[in-house]
Structure 1
């Protein structure tokens, strides 16, 4: 049984439905650290939950690239990683050569265009700031490719994990 069927209201039980709704709401509103702590506790207390979490978050033997039963069993690997280039989460079992787009450079204010013409820093705030980069990316240019700040990445490659791999000794 998966979580979707457990949380759906199949039998019309109003109390169970209310409890399911309350649980989903609590999960959605909880801080990430709280959700992680609760998941660790559930996995520690329930072997079934542990197996389910392993199935969802770790690469299974049949999902490994070039997996072979003759080789020594490899340690478990995370199924999802955060890319060090584009900062997005990706599925390590599906990482084609054109999956990641990012910029190698940084954004700089585009004072040559007319985006900032009416912007008064004394009133509206400093242009060259993290806030303006996030709120007004079209007012910036990438120094690596000269494209607008809201343009897709100029570099294309596979995703690279943010976590360092352990060196073999």
Structure 2
């Protein structure tokens, strides 16, 4: 048989197609499935599949920064409720918050809050650590306006002199009755932190 005859026989043999290489996606395409589903059955990480579904977010530096911003601005009521809900549902959160917020009293061995607010200076302090001697500094008196410091202030025009905003912005224009120090003067009384009893906090300076 000549080479020309072999070539003619090869041209007449039918082409063999391996159907096993066709995937189910290919079959769906042939059935027209792709026309109805442009995503080929996949859902983007950030895509809502329904009006009520939540969007999944990948954690990174941007999300961490935004989360911290939200924590700083969200209402205290909502933040507390969120923590309570997480304590009820997430054991890891419960463990972490217990370590940070709860401790064992060294004397009574009772479970107590770890953090207290001093009724004298208004500072939060850790009851689980050894305290320093005379670390609390405060004024036992009242903070009054020094009108000479507001020489150009007309209350009919500018509003009251004695406001929280003015105390923070112009402490030098206020006087402590206990020692005649200005509002930003160092506390004239020193002692140990005392747990708050619900009375008005003294300002620590």
Shift of 1:104: 0.5
Does residue 90 of structure 1 match 2:125?
yes
Aligned length: 140
For structure 2, the residue ranges without an aligned partner over 5 or more in a row are 1-56, 199-205
1:11 alignment partner in structure 2:
none
Listed one character per residue, the Cα deviations across residues 50-109 of structure 1 (whole Å, up to 9, x for unaligned) are: 12211111125xxx546xxxxxx7221211111111112111124222221111100122
2:190 to 156, 161, 168: 156
In structure 1, distance between residues paired with 2:70 and 2:155: 42
Does residue 42 of structure 1 match 2:90?
no
1:28 to 44, 49, 72: 72
Does residue 133 of structure 1 match 2:176?
no
Does residue 80 of structure 1 match 2:124?
no
1:53 alignment partner in structure 2:
97
In structure 1, distance between residues paired with 2:92 and 2:164: 45
In structure 2, distance between residues paired with 1:35 and 1:147: 39
1:101 to 132, 137, 140: 137
Q: 1:52 to 1:15 in 2, by over 3 A?
A: closer
The TM-score, its normalising length taken from structure 1, stands at 0.69
Does residue 16 of structure 1 match 2:51?
no
Matched position secondary structure for 1:49: helix
The TM-score, its normalising length taken from structure 2, stands at 0.59
Give 1 or 2 for the bigger CA radius of gyration.
2
Q: 1:48 to 1:118 in 2, by over 3 A?
A: closer
